[in-house]
Amino acid sequence: MEAKILNELNRGKYVSGEAVSARLGLTRSAVWKNIGALRRQGFVIEASTRRGYRLVDTPDKLLPALLQPLLKGAPIAGPVIHFQKTGSTAGEARLLVEAGSPEGTIVAAEAQTKGRGRMGRKWITPAGDAIALSVILYPSISPSQAPLLGLATALAARQAVSSVVEKETGVAAAIDLKWPNDIYLAGRKVGGVLVEMSAELDRVRWVIDSIGLNVNNDFAGSPLEKEATSLSSFWDRRFGRLELAAAVLKELGRAYARIRNGRGLAAVAREFEKHDLLKGRRVAVSAPEGAVEGTVAGVDSEGRLLLRLPGGGVRALFSGEVSVRRP
Ligand code: ATP
């Protein structure tokens, strides 16, 4: 109902409360209550007894009433479930999967208090500055193909961010990826992807595909100062989170439409290699059996990292168990 009221107010002029209530079949007091709820979410709405209501400003928040219309007709289009603050969008998405939420359900949060990275690491999402999203998917792929979905998500996020930044600043953005899940800007981490899934032997039951992106965060003085950056710190201007989130979700939707039945996955590894920060570089890999050094040769057809070993030979590494660092 809030979305419908917003739609009425979106005409830029004053609209009378009477007209809104008649068009939506609501009582005047129900309209007033919804206006109050919208104001509490950050919408600035003027009210005049004579002329009615006028929408003056909308918040840059990933609210269903704002995000969902931007995704109309896209392969991933919601429903959007929004939290002002939550532990993690991935955790919320997990509860929604268990409650039977449909494919394409999007969980968005203004702040996460227990954002997750890979292998139990923490992901910091300060209130109102970053994008934290999780998408529920039920792809017809085998469990061994799931890592490619993570690579495809990082590629989609990279593509979306590059396009929005170029459109906004007029300058091409050099955004790289680091296998398997990191998004880099000028040598610092600007975002990350986390794919969680439940699978049987030959079939993926569900995937929760999560994306974190530093948009307007300022890491100066924080413990992450040296390793992290945001779009706003790099370009010295703020970016619209709503526009970026919609671009990421649309790009992810396009990628997902190509790969949801497993067929378009073969191209993902080739594409990822093109943008991999560490391709051809010497790296140190921490694996369960100890450290391994080598040169990154590429990504194989299952999304594994190919490491050329100093003594000759190539080893394929699963993303679930290793971390890659520059030595
Ligand atoms: P790997 O290369 O193996 O993925 P990683 O350090 O990149 O290792 P991730 O799980 O991808 O691990 O990301 C979590 C790590 O990212 C945290 O341990 C922290 O160092 C860093 N980090 C946490 N929050 C942010 C953020 N908002 N922006 C950039 N970096 C962050």
Tell me how far the alpha carbon of residue 176 lies from the centroid of ligand 1, in angstroms. 15
Residue 7: pLDDT band (50, 70, 90) is confident
Strands 182-185 and 188-199: antiparallel
CB-CB contact of 177 with 183 (8 Å): yes
- Give the tens place of pLDDT for each residue, 296-305: 999 999 999 9
- Cα separation, 305 vs 324, whole angstroms: 10
- Cα separation, 208 vs 210, whole angstroms: 6
Domain extents in the chain: 2-57, 64-273, 278-324
CB-CB contact of 78 with 107 (8 Å): no
Q: Which pLDDT does position 128 carry in this prediction?
A: 80
Find the length of the chain. 327
Please classify residue 81 by burial: count the beta carbons closer than 10 Å to its beta carbon, then call 0-12 exposed, 13-18 middle and 19+ buried: buried
Tell me how far the alpha carbon of residue 247 lies from the centroid of ligand 1, in angstroms. 23
Tell me which residue has tokens 């880099």. Answer: 184
Q: Tell me the CB-side half-sphere exposure of residue 147, using CA atoms within 13 A.
A: 18
Q: Which pLDDT does position 86 carry in this prediction?
A: 97
User: Is residue 109 classed as helix, strand or coil in its secondary structure?
Assistant: strand
Percent of the chain with pLDDT over 90: 81
Do the two domains 2-57 and 64-273 of this chain adopt the same fold?
Answer: no
Q: Which pLDDT does position 198 carry in this prediction?
A: 97
Domain 2-57 coded CATH 1.10.10.10: yes
- Give the tens place of pLDDT for each residue, 242-282: 999 999 999 999 999 999 988 888 899 999 999 999 999 99
Alpha helices, DSSP H only, in the chain? Answer: 2-9, 17-24, 28-40, 64-70, 89-98, 146-169, 231-235, 241-259, 266-275
Residue whose CA is at the smallest distance from ligand 1 atom 20 = 224
Strands 323-325 and 282-287: antiparallel
- Give the tens place of pLDDT for each residue, 20-35: 899 999 999 999 999 9
Q: Which pLDDT does position 300 carry in this prediction?
A: 94
| Per-residue tokens: 129 | 């500055």
Please list every protein residue whose CB sits less than 6 Å from any atom of ligand 1.
117-118, 121-124, 181-182, 189, 192, 214, 224, 227-228, 323-324
- Give the tens place of pLDDT for each residue, 102-112: 999 999 999 99
Q: Please name the fold of domain 64-273.
A: BirA Bifunctional Protein; domain 2 (3.30.930)
Probe residue for ligand 1, chosen from 176, 185, 224, 281 as the CB with the greatest number of ligand atoms within 8 Å: 224
Q: Which pLDDT does position 118 carry in this prediction?
A: 87
Residue 124: pLDDT band (50, 70, 90) is very high
Q: Which pLDDT does position 87 carry in this prediction?
A: 97
- Cα separation, 212 vs 193, whole angstroms: 6
pLDDT greater than 70 at residue 173: yes
Compute the average pLDDT of residues 284-310: 92
| Per-residue tokens: 277 | 């920060």
Q: Point out the ligand 1 atom lying closest to the alpha carbon of residue 118.
A: 10
pTM of the model: 0.93
Tell me which residue has tokens 């994306």. Answer: 211
Residue 11: pLDDT band (50, 70, 90) is low
Residue whose CA is at the smallest distance from ligand 1 atom 30 = 228
The CATH number fitting domain 278-324, selected from 2.40.50.140, 2.30.30.100, 3.10.270.10, 3.40.50.1110: 2.30.30.100
Higher pLDDT, 141 or 49: 141
Q: What is the mean pLDDT of the chain?
A: 93
CB-CB contact of 96 with 107 (8 Å): yes
Q: Which pLDDT does position 319 carry in this prediction?
A: 85
Cis omega before residue 310 (within 30°)?
no
